[in-house]
A and B are shown apart, each in its own frame.
Chain A
Amino acid sequence: MLGRFDYERPTNLAEAVRLFAETPSAAILAGGTDLLVELRSGRHAPRLLVDVKRVDGLRRLDVGPRGDLTIGAAVSLNELLEHAATRWSFPGLAQAAASIATYQLRNRATVTGNLCNASPAADLAPALLVLGAAVGVAGPRGARVIPVAEFFAGVKRTTLRRGEIATEVRIPAPEPELRSAFLKQQRLRGHDLAVANVAGALAPSTGTLRLAFGSCAPTPILLAPIETKGMSAVAVGAAAAAATLAAASPISDVRASAEYRRAVLPVLVRRVVAELLGGGAT
């Protein structure tokens, strides 16, 4: 047994928000692939789980008229991966989602849950950061939107306020021919959390490159945009690698030492840049 708690499965958002906000020590249950592990370990013992998977509207996965994408809080990673428009417009996001856990878990794990869990290693975080995504939130004091870049407050901490539920992830319409890519270093080819992960998005028309990385600082980090016009892929890669290392503050853990993280992070960055700009290494 994972603990003694109550379980509610509301079907409308207001009810979900009310239950969550009113109960001291309640937790939102989405796919449960992080939460149930926490409960089993005893590190976390909420009194109520509010399952948001049946809440009306949270299953939405739709593309707006201009190509913006909304991913409801009940959408699983596999549903995202099976969504052709996502794979087509946001290949980096699809690569990140496909790199998470196992096929079975991706049937449960949600996109929003990956962000709300706020692990420094969350693979979707860098992929969403470079797309300028934001999290739609509903709470006792109404709805608001938090850019993913402002969503993480620290290891396992978000800027969600008490009683707030993330309802969706919104990805703005991509710039024309936007390219994106994601790479993850892990200890084996099989499922593993990232030793380091890097996502990039390049808007060919403007030459602006966005890069983000994870598992090398207390939160995933988005770098300042890099202008690539007139620069070779190698030069961009070098500049981006330097910027990444400057922003990184990795620790040593069981998966890897800080030194290894510092060594592979620039490699991943250069490879992502090469993939986006063409030519170069990989």
Chain B
Amino acid sequence: MNGRLETATVPAGMTLLEFLRGRLCLVGTKEGCGIGECGACTVLLDGKPVTACLVLAVEADGGAVDTIEGEARDGELSALQKAFIEAGAIQCGFCTPGMIMSARGLLRRIPNPTDDEIVEAMAGNLCRCTGYEAILEAVRVAAQAKAVPHAGQMVAGQSAGGSGSQGGRLSSPRVPGEGGGRG
């Protein structure tokens, strides 16, 4: 469990989500539907994103589970977390833990994903607030930050914002997924 061994006896009918939230008090993982449709409960099981509401806790026996609580290391936010913040990929934040775990799973598998791969990996996570654009951008930025270490400042703030106003109007910023992102 986030790199630590946890030992517990659980009823067979308990989901991994219930176990995380109820037993381990890892409440960063959210429930949005309970039937695999929304992705709010996404965690990594043996390195792969899964919806914890559709996994029994007993099925994780002997496996490795990563949750949002393990994403920052030694108090330092991961590049992914930073990119989410700077890209404006967060509004109410309820989908965010699941989004980040899906993105984490993707970047472990494919360190420099294409736009299509990003969309495919993230489309199982519903977000009602952001309209997704900034989330996809955050993943893209985090992948670039990884691919080119010490590339300097996050660029998300400017790419998602379009900071200045000119002549009473904001220039329209770059839109992600030109030609890409169609799943």
Contact = CB atoms under 8 A, between A and B. Distances in A.
Interface string B28-72: 000000111101001001001111011110110100000000000
Contacts of A191: 37, 123-124
Contacts of B55: 32, 36, 108
A53 B105 CA distance: 21
Interface size class of B (residues with CB under 8 A): 20 to 34
Given A102-B39, A104-B51, A108-B50, A4 B13 contact: yes
A104 B13 contact: no
A7 B56 contact: yes
Interface string B104-117: 01000000000000
Nearest to A108: B50
Interface in B87-135: 102, 105, 120-121, 123-124
Contacts of A190: 123, 183
A265 B182 CA distance: 23
Contacts of A101: 36, 124
Ordered nearest first, which 7 A-B pairs have the shortest CB separation?
A: A102-B124, A7-B12, A1-B13, A107-B48, A2-B13, A104-B49, A3-B13
A97 B37 CA distance: 17
B168 interface: no
Interface size class of A (residues with CB under 8 A): 20 to 34
Contacts of B42: 104
Contacts of B123: 102-103, 190-191
A107 B58 contact: no
A49 interface: yes
B86 interface: no
B152 interface: no
A7 B58 contact: yes
Contacts of A189: 182-183
A51 B18 CA distance: 19
A6 interface: yes
Contacts of B170: none
B39 A108 contact: no
25 contacts: A1-B11, A1-B13, A1-B14, A1-B15, A32-B54, A33-B36, A33-B54, A36-B56, A37-B36, A37-B54, A39-B13, A40-B34, A51-B59, A102-B36, A102-B39, A102-B123, A104-B39, A104-B50, A104-B102, A104-B105, A104-B124, A105-B36, A105-B50, A189-B182, A191-B124
Contacts of A39: 13
Interface in A26-41: 29, 32-33, 36-37, 39-40
A33 B52 CA distance: 11
Contacts of B34: 40
Contacts of A102: 36, 39, 51, 123-124
B102 A103 contact: yes
Given A36-B56, A51-B59, A105 B124 contact: yes
Contacts of B18: 1
